[in-house]
Chains A and B, each alone.
Chain A
Amino acid sequence: MSQGLIPLHRLPVGSRGRVRQINITGAVRRRMLDLGLTFSTEVAVLQKSPSGDPTAYFIRGAVVALRSQEASQILVAPVD
């Protein structure tokens, strides 16, 4: 793992991160890309669901919920 990068699901609610690495392959990767989770996309963490997973993210003007299973494979650099 590169320096300063954290998995998306660890990014605290209310903060933002920039996508640096997507460690998924195949169809799931395609799905993530189609959602707009491409390299250097800014993602804001909106809120967790009542049981803490999934989490709602603000991605390119849309709100998308992802389970930590997928979000943990996406590495982001926190943005201030």
Chain B
Amino acid sequence: MFLTRQSTGSSGAKGYLPDGLVVALAGNPNTGKSTVFNSLTGMKQHTGNWTGKTVAYARGRYRYRGLDYILVDLPGSYSLLASSVEEEVARDFICFEHPAVTVVVVDATCLERNLNLVLQILEITAHVVVCVNLLDEAKRKKIRLDLSALSRILGIPVVGTNAREGQGLEQLQEAVSRVASGKLLADSLKITYSRPVEEAVALLEPAVRKLIPADLDSRWVSLRLLDGDSTLDRSLNRFLNTYLHQNEVLTAKIAEAKALLKKESGGKTASDLIVTAIFETAENIARRVTAAAVDQARQWDRRLDRLLTSKGFGIPVMLALLGVLFWITITGANYPSQLLATALFWIEGRLSNIILATGAPPWLHGALVTGVYRTLAWVVSVMLPPMAIFFPLFTFLEDLGYLPRVAFNLDHFFKKAGAHGKQVLTMCMGFGCNAAGVVACRIIDSPRERLIAILTNNFVPCNGRFPTLVVLATIFLGGPRGFSGSLAATVVILGVIVLGVMVTLVISKILSQTILKGFSSTFALELPPYRRPQLGRILVRSFIDRTLFVLSRAVIVAAPAGLVIWLMVNLKIGALSVLDYSARFLQPFGELLGMDGYIIMAFLLGFPANEIVIPILIMSYLATGSLMDLGCLNQLQMLLVENGWTWLTAVCVMLFSLNHFPCGTTLLTIHRETRSIKWTAVAFLIPTLTGIIICFLVAQTARLLGLA
């Protein structure tokens, strides 16, 4: 949802809401904008909801000297010239919602590029505070900035901060309050353009001024009209009901001004001249306030890049890093997993006694304990440890700035597949959760390539499937427990991931040559400076945002699913349970794919969340086999082997886990993102068919060769 005056209930006064002053937070991506936001608001923001194509923003509040402030976190953007949805949203907020103050967060290590945005915002409003963040990074890179000179040149307050350490935030709040109270309105810097642009603006501006409200900068609107920015016209319609292009006098003036500009500038376009002037101004300012040999400052980054993205080592290092990640996860998760299982099954015994002591009927005891509780216990003990280890490690790489390097390394393959290099970033998100990965596909501008990324995101195993893979790899393919075993399991998991990437590329290629024909679009990927990750923040973020979120979702789904399974196991028709009937029906199909009917059933019942596939399977087997205490992996292995599992079964289950229909949440998200039943159906069918074909081929080949 757009935050509009209506929706926030504004009294209409500039920048004021009944419950506080509106402060907008703008900035390039990767400047620590969200850290500033979280530090100021104490993490009390509503997380942005993503409806449709609208990019929503987080809002939070803080109090300073008895006044309430509402902080609005605008999407990160490099520019306000509206070449992407994020930029349009940010521009519209600053332009039409009239925040009392706009704080622009800039990266101290990359001032020139960041000033571009500052200068553009200054053209719209003078109520700006510049927050030069990441001063510690700059210091480490031996970049020295003269902030008071910057403030003098820009004519607005400039505050230096290290938001991660909480440094400078008090001064930032002070500057915001002073600008909001109107005490600090000096002459802010306005860019002077080359003569042809200035003449064209002079010709246009009087006509524009008559048509727009006084609180909108007519010079800025004139520049946009010269620039031919059609998105502004759309926004003017939406926010102000003004139809500039329907005004014939103005349209004539625009044509006249454009013609003048073209003649005076020797054929250059307005947009070139405007952008060039802004950048030249930024360059000039940056040079005046920065003291550093920039090349020297970035040496460490360059060295790291030379290793991490080098011709010989780039891809091997990437695989090795991923391998180490998995290895630590597999070895580290084993012990806590057993401990948790023991604890949770001990509780099961007690719970059982209590329920029986109350005189509850056996069916109720069965449904609650063997149904709901046991499934929950399994989900928690199997999933929690690997997630609690994997996510912080992955967040570490993310914070370090490594993921864009992965996209850089792999872009060539994606280009060949007719897809976008940024698809890699959406796949990385998919490691956490495919639904999040699908939403992340918005970073791809071309609709065709975005659709490809959405349709193939499921080929990255999310963490709901990740524990299944880890458990099976450890049991069946790792061999004996211990160092060599976990190493083998790591290699298997790594193989599964590489396979997932290869399937993604093949399917992307097929899509871009059939139903989504086309060539790859522009690719410009920023490789941000490496940052020293903050361990405390990583632990908190990965645990709260990811581990707890995913686990709670799994638990919510697992509880009712446990009940359904218990019912299916215990509702008998004749001698057989409903589950047995279903499994028998699916048995031939399962066998074709190297699995059995119960496994197929588990995948079907796991539709709400992939996390519960293994627990469902255990419940189904336990209902037919001997009941036992599933304390550790050895016993799970025994149970599976008793039910006819071989290494081939494990391989096929892993393959099918990688390649099958997305979970319910992901499909709903795909539907919301594509707004099309057709594409949602395609997203369901592609991985399912891929899985069926791959499992069939693997199972039949192995049997034919007498390997299993």
Contacts and interface: CB of A to CB of B under 8 A. Distances in A.
Given A33-B271, A38-B276, A54-B525, A61 B111 contact: yes
A39 B314 contact: no
A60 B409 CA distance: 23
Interface string A60-77: 111111110110000000
Contact of B83 (A30, A41, A47): A30
Interface stretch (B159-167, B382-390, B411-419, B564-572): B411-419
B283 interface: yes
A34 interface: yes
B527 A65 contact: yes
Given A30-B81, A53-B415, A66 B275 contact: no
B338 interface: no
Given A48-B311, A64-B527, 11 more contacts: A34-B83, A41-B279, A50-B312, A51-B413, A54-B408, A56-B309, A63-B301, A63-B529, A65-B421, A65-B527, A69-B522
B279 A60 contact: yes
Which secondary structure characterizes the binding site on chain A? mixed
A46 B306 CA distance: 9
B305 A50 contact: no
Interface string A15-50: 000000010000111111111101101000011111
A54 B411 contact: yes
Interface in B367-418: 408-409, 411-413, 415
A66 B311 contact: no
Contact of B408 (A22, A32, A65, A69): A65
A61 B113 contact: yes
Interface centre among A38, A61, A64 (most CB of B within 10 A): A61
B283 A56 contact: no
B279 A47 contact: no
A38 B275 contact: yes
17 contacts: A29-B272, A32-B524, A46-B302, A47-B310, A53-B411, A54-B411, A54-B412, A56-B408, A56-B527, A58-B298, A60-B283, A64-B525, A65-B408, A65-B523, A69-B523, A70-B523, A70-B524
A31 B522 contact: yes
A39 B275 CA distance: 10
B305 A47 contact: yes
6 cross-chain pairs, A with B, having the tightest CB-CB distances, nearest first: A51-B412, A50-B314, A38-B276, A33-B275, A63-B527, A61-B112
A36 to B, nearest CB: 5
A61 B279 contact: no
Contacts of B476: none
A52 interface: yes
B318 to A, nearest CB: 9
A34 B113 CA distance: 9
B26 interface: no
B286 interface: yes
A48 B306 CA distance: 9
Given A34-B79, A47-B305, A60-B113, A65 B310 contact: no
A65 B526 CA distance: 6
B308 to A, nearest CB: 10
Given A34-B81, A36-B116, A49 B524 contact: no
Contact of A27 (B83, B110, B298): B83
Contact of B113 (A47, A48, A62, A67): A62
Nearest to A44: B295
A69 B524 CA distance: 11
A79 to B, nearest CB: 14
Contact of A70 (B314, B408, B522): B522
B78 interface: yes
Interface residues of A, number: 35
B315 interface: yes
Contacts of A56: 305, 309, 408, 527
B507 to A, nearest CB: 20
A34 B272 CA distance: 10
B113 A36 contact: yes
Interface in B287-340: 294, 298, 301-302, 305-306, 309-312, 314-315
A12 B36 CA distance: 40
Contacts of B523: 54, 65-67, 69-70
Contacts of B83: 27, 30-31, 34
Contacts of A29: 271-272
B701 to A, nearest CB: 31
A61 B294 contact: yes
B694 to A, nearest CB: 26
B280 to A, nearest CB: 8
A35 to B, nearest CB: 6
Contact of B311 (A27, A50, A65): A50
Contact of B524 (A41, A50, A51, A66): A66
A60 B112 contact: yes
Contacts of B315: 50
A49 B314 contact: yes
Contact of B275 (A34, A49, A58, A63): A34
Between A22, A27, A33, A52, the greatest number of chain B beta carbons within 10 A of the residue's beta carbon is seen for A33
Contacts of A32: 524
A54 B78 contact: no
Contacts of B275: 33-34, 38
Nearest to A33: B275
Interface string B413-439: 101000001000000000000000000
A49 B79 contact: no
Given A28-B522, A36-B116, A53 B110 contact: no
A63 to B, nearest CB: 4
Q: Which of A27, A29, A30, A39 neighbours the largest number of chain B CB atoms within 10 Å of its CB?
A: A30
B412 A35 contact: no
B271 A30 contact: yes
Contact of A65 (B111, B282, B306, B524): B524
Contacts of A39: 272, 276
Contacts of A47: 305-306, 309-310
A51 B294 CA distance: 28
Contacts of B81: 30, 34
A63 B522 contact: no
A71 to B, nearest CB: 10
A38 B109 CA distance: 21
A60 B116 CA distance: 10
Contact of A50 (B272, B310, B522): B310
A36 B113 CA distance: 7
Contact of A49 (B109, B116, B412): B412
Nearest to A19: B276
Instruction: Among A27, A56, A64, A66, find the residue whose CB has the most chain B CB atoms closer than 10 A.
Output: A56
Nearest to B519: A69
Contacts of B305: 46-47, 56, 63
Most buried by B among A32, A47, A53, A62: A62
B60 to A, nearest CB: 28
A46 to B, nearest CB: 7
